[in-house]
């Protein structure tokens, strides 16, 4: 939910991380995104919060989160752009460095960021 307008946004979060000693199951990653997304906030912070949780909670060497979301505040207020989406990229640790960042972006789909 957007903290500015208290309207929902929904979309897809692509998550990549480089594990050190702890490898998370896919369900853990999906639940992590759900938990972090359950409180009102902006999309940019959501990606950073998921990266930070992976870095701290799973002792990841780095994380990359690409979020592609449609915001109700854009589709139902002012601009009224029903098909517009917002893409944000958050990267930390080794995932913020090239060439790994570019490789991860290509795996995700390359068209984002």
Query: What confidence tens digit (pLDDT) does each residue in 44-74 have?
Result: 889 999 999 999 988 999 999 998 887 666 5
Residue 113 has a pLDDT of 45
Average pLDDT, the chain: 83
Residue 41 has a pLDDT of 85
Catalytic residue at 3?
yes
49-58: list long-range contacts, CB under 8 Å, 24+ apart: 50/13, 50/15, 50/90, 51/90, 51/91, 51/92, 51/95, 52/92, 54/15, 54/17, 54/24, 55/92, 55/93, 57/32, 58/17, 58/19, 58/22, 58/24
Set 2, 14, 28, 72: catalytic member: 2
Set 5, 14, 28, 112: catalytic member: 5
Catalytic residue at 2?
yes
CATH number of the domain located at residue range(s) 9-108 in this protein: 3.30.1130.10
Catalytic residue at 28?
no
Catalytic residue at 51?
no
Catalytic residue at 95?
no
pTM over 0.75: yes
Residue 84 has a pLDDT of 76
């Amino acid at each position: 939910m957007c903290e500015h307008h208290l309207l929902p946004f929904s979309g897809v979060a692509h998550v990549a991380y480089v594990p050190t000693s702890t490898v998370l199951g896919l369900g853990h990653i999906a639940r992590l995104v759900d938990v972090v997304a359950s409180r009102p906030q902006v999309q940019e912070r959501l990606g950073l919060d998921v990266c930070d949780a992976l870095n701290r909670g799973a002792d990841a060497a780095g994380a990359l989160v690409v979020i592609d979301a449609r915001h109700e505040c854009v589709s139902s207020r002012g601009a009224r752009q029903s098909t517009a989406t917002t893409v944000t990229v958050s990267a930390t640790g080794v995932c913020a460095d090239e060439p790994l960042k570019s490789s991860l972006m290509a795996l995700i789909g390359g068209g984002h960021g």
